[in-house]
Amino acid sequence: MDINRKIAFKCPISTYSLPEDYDETKSDFVDCNEFWTCVENDILMLGYPGQVKVRCLPESPNMLFWAPYIGCKTRHSNLVYNTEHRKASNTHPSVLETDCRAMSEERMVELLTQSKPKEVADFAKKLGISQRGSKIDNILAIIKTMEKDDQKFNKAFKKIWGSSGGWASAVCPHGIVHAIKFVLRAESPRDFVDILLSMKNQPNITVIDMANMLVVAHGNKRKDRMFHPSNGMVVEPTDENIRLADKGSLRISLPWVFKDGANPSSTSNAHPITGSSVRMCLFDTFHQTNVTKKREILRRVGHIAELRGILNTQVAEQLFSPRNMILDSSIR
């Protein structure tokens, strides 16, 4: 799973407005079939300019009527999760929840680090920040300003990506996209958990660049044992396992990974294909060192014998090129 931040579009501030009397619980679900039928009908209406006056969709995106794109055989039902309205307070819509804000800042810093010194200086100038010479100094000044000022944070986010948060996707190792969510607000682990909870069968192994946040900040809080055992790690985070992983000597075997066909299991939450009830959440290769806690080393794909050197953990990023996109044929 990954986010494509280049796929962003402008959203008026009214997009984030919520009715004062809206029911948070009921608003967590959207009818996927109804939403995408409206999208299809609106596209058809474009062929009759000036003749059709009624739109199926609102003029702009709506926080309460916005659904991910998940295949009918992949989703558990037509009602799918959409909890973006929970990212911010209804009374203070500009103030994002902590993990959402943290991810957005991390993404911006990552992009600025990859930019040229002049580009960083120009960006700082647009935010009203005085340039301090070096690229690092300017980045630090930008971070400090964003942390203190919500308005500056929002301004920075819009200048880099537009007003929406990008395009979250769930892709299998074969390169087939099974779910897409056009994120209205800044990216959050919440968006990916929404997708996973909307699936008929949660994958045994989820690979993402923020695996620890996905498990701790949302996954296991929203659903008991969503990622288990070992909190979604490959093994229990004991001192010995961490030591072996640090030395590169830890190897575990998951024989069910390459099994074809259904494997009946007495466990109610077992995956129908693998027959396993294990639910891991691991880092993609390029982000597996971006952690501060030593035990997170146990979220590396390389510890699994059957996947070491075989699984392409960058398949989602590679498919962001339009010519490579293959949609799940069961979408409609």
Q: What is the pLDDT of residue 165?
A: 83
Residue type, 247: K
DSSP secondary structure code for residue 15 in this structure: G
Amino acid identity of residue 298, one-letter, is L
Give the range among 130-139, 248-257, 290-299 with minimum mean pLDDT: 130-139
Compute the Cα dihedral for 20, 24, 29, 31 and give only its sign. negative
- For residues 84-91, average pLDDT: 77
232-244 pLDDT per residue, tens: 999 999 999 999 9
At residue 1 the predicted structure's pLDDT band, cuts being 50, 70 and 90, is very high
At 307, the amino acid letter reads L
141-149: long-range pairs with CB below 8 Å, 24+? 142/108, 142/112, 143/105, 143/109, 146/105, 146/108, 147/105
Q: What is the mean pLDDT of residues 308-320?
A: 81
pLDDT score for 331: 40
For the chain, the farthest-separated pair of C-alpha atoms sits apart, in whole angstroms, at: 71
202-215: burial string, b at 16+ Cβ within 10 Å, e else: bbbbbbbbbbbbbb
Look at residues 98, 159, 169, 104 and name the one whose alpha carbon lies nearest to residue 128.
159
DSSP of 226-273, one letter per residue? SSBSGGGSSS---HHHHHHHHHT---B--GGGG--S----SSTT--TT
Instruction: Give Cβ neighbours of residue 19 (< 8 Å, ≥ 6 apart).
Output: none
The answer to whether residue 225 scores a pLDDT higher than 80 is: yes
Confidence of residue 88 (pLDDT cuts 50, 70, 90): confident
Res 329: pLDDT: 46
In our burial notation (b when 16+ CB lie closer than 10 A, e otherwise), range 86-121 reads bbbeeeebeebbebbbbbbbebbeeebeeeeeeebb
